Amino acid sequence: MHWPQSALVLRTPRLELRPDDDEGLAELVDVAYRGVHPPDRMPFMIPWTDADPRYLGRGALQHFWGERARFAPGSWALHFLVRHEGRVIGVQTLRAEEFAVRREVGSGSWLGMSAQGRGLGTEMRAAILAYAFDVLGAAHARSEAFSDNVASHRVSAKLGYVEDGFEILSPRGAPVHNIRLRLTPETFRRPDWELHVEGHTADLAGLLGA
């Protein structure tokens, strides 16, 4: 298979996570247009939701297409489209640089506002952490969030992350504290369910440096 990640599926009790495809991305853009966060807050380091609504959808598609084009063993990102009851509700990213050497992954995610507050964010991040630690053999997982992103920090705390420093960023021209977080297989607070993985082939493992 020329694009082995297309067969990968992660399943949790409520969610299905698959690497992005064009049909799913069209659904994801619709979710973004319906709202991701209150307009008076900006949870993203790159304020993409501030884009002109006439171009936001096109810009989102170009971002994901560009990520596909850059995918390589030394630098990759799996953008899992998250589906609940058959519908796309958000995206959960797992990324790495020189994974074969560093054994470290990073993550990022967002959910449409209608899907927030129901524990789905915790469930989808737990899914990619279980995949990273148990299937890929990662030794560290990192994440980050602005200090006022209470929901993200709540998820991180539930899963066992610890703070690992901070930096000052300015997504909207004002300084904000960006908190860095780190997790290991030993400190990962595992959910009470088992992750089901399909389509993790030898070709895919090689492509990811696993």
Domains (range + CATH), the chain: 4-208 (3.40.630.30)
The pLDDT assigned to 162 comes to: 94
Interval 181-195: pLDDT, tens: 999 999 999 999 999
- Statement: the pTM of the whole predicted model exceeds 0.85: yes
Nearest to 62 by CA among 76, 74, 48, 82: 48
Please check whether residue 108 is in contact with residue 173, taking contact to mean a CB–CB distance below 8 angstroms: no
The pLDDT assigned to 46 comes to: 67
Helices marked H in 1-149: 22-34, 53-70, 99-102, 120-130
Please check whether residue 19 is in contact with residue 6, taking contact to mean a CB–CB distance below 8 angstroms: yes
The pLDDT assigned to 44 comes to: 60
The pLDDT assigned to 19 comes to: 97
Please check whether residue 65 is in contact with residue 102, taking contact to mean a CB–CB distance below 8 angstroms: no
The pLDDT assigned to 38 comes to: 73
* Residue carrying the six token digits 């607070």: 189
DSSP one-letter code for 4: G
Alpha-carbon span 88 to 12, nearest angstrom: 15
Name residues whose C-beta falls within 8 Å of residue 183's C-beta, 6 or more positions apart in sequence. 129, 140, 141, 142, 143, 159, 160, 161, 162
Alpha-carbon span 37 to 110, nearest angstrom: 9
* Ranges of residues in the chain whose predicted pLDDT is under 70: 42-51
Both tokens assigned to 134:
């148990």
Name residues whose C-beta falls within 8 Å of residue 151's C-beta, 6 or more positions apart in sequence. 116, 117, 121
The pLDDT assigned to 150 comes to: 84
